[in-house]
């Protein structure tokens, strides 16, 4: 009887472990699966939707060479992940962003546009950092990005002299931004935390 009970307990434990493992795999499936199955039409994606989604990722840690939110993002991994969620095919490498979309003047940047910077390395002229424009109010210009700096993750940053010096180009891939008048997306619906 004890032997049968012991054998039953072993079988029960093994079955529980297998079910638990299968459940964990289902929960922890890479977000790429969800991106591939999303039903957004990239022609109709609004900057408001894209920005709101990007803001849900604030606080995700910085991780070099990663576009997986469960591990962290590097700068291009973050931008790639956000745009892929809405079925946009954008580069994975920051250097390749210069070859996509429409080039837009800095003063005409709108929320949802992509902003390119040179690498933080001194005297670098190569693109080495990307982010997404969050707000363009003239002197108040903010972007969301994943940084290896002191915030070490996805954060909102105001354009300062350091970033102005490194600025390369604004790239537009959202067709809806061509239709917007002025620089704003319904700002009342966006939560714009004060940059630190």
pLDDT in tens, 7-59: 555 555 555 444 444 444 433 334 443 333 345 677 889 999 999 999 999 99
For 138-189, the pLDDT digits (tens) are 899 999 999 999 999 999 999 999 999 999 999 999 988 887 644 444 443 3
Cβ distance 108 to 115 under 8 Å? no
Pick the closest to residue 131 from 117, 152, 148 (CA basis).
Answer: 117
The predicted structure's pLDDT at residue 131: 98
Close Cβ partners of 66 (under 8 Å, ≥ 6 residues apart): 72, 73, 74, 77
Q: What is the pTM (predicted TM-score) of this model? A: 0.73
Q: Which CATH superfamily is domain 39-189 in?
A: endopeptidase domain like (from Nostoc punctiforme) (3.90.1720.10)
The predicted structure's pLDDT at residue 24: 40
Domains of the chain, by residue range, sit at 1-37, 39-189
For 100-117, the pLDDT digits (tens) are 999 999 999 999 999 999
Cα separation, 30 vs 32, in Å, equals: 5
């Amino acid at each position: 009887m004890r032997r049968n009970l012991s054998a039953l307990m072993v079988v029960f434990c093994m079955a529980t472990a297998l079910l638990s493992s299968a459940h964990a795999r289902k929960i922890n499936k890479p977000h790429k699966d969800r991106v591939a199955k999303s039903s957004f039409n990239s022609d109709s994606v609004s900057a408001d939707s894209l920005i709101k989604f990007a803001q849900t990722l604030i606080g995700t840690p910085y991780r070099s060479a990663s576009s997986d939110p469960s591990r962290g993002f590097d700068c291009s991994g973050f931008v790639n992940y956000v745009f892929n969620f809405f079925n946009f095919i954008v580069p994975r490498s920051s250097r390749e962003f210069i070859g996509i979309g429409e080039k837009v003047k800095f003063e005409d940047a709108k929320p949802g546009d992509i902003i390119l910077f040179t690498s933080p390395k001194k005297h670098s002229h190569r693109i080495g950092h990307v982010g997404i424009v969050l707000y363009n109010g003239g002197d108040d210009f903010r972007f969301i990005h994943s940084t290896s700096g002191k915030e070490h993750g996805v954060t909102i940053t105001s354009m300062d002299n350091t970033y102005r010096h490194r600025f390369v180009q604004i790239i537009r891939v959202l067709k809806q931004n061509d239709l917007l008048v002025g620089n704003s997306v319904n700002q009342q619906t966006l939560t714009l935390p004060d940059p630190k």
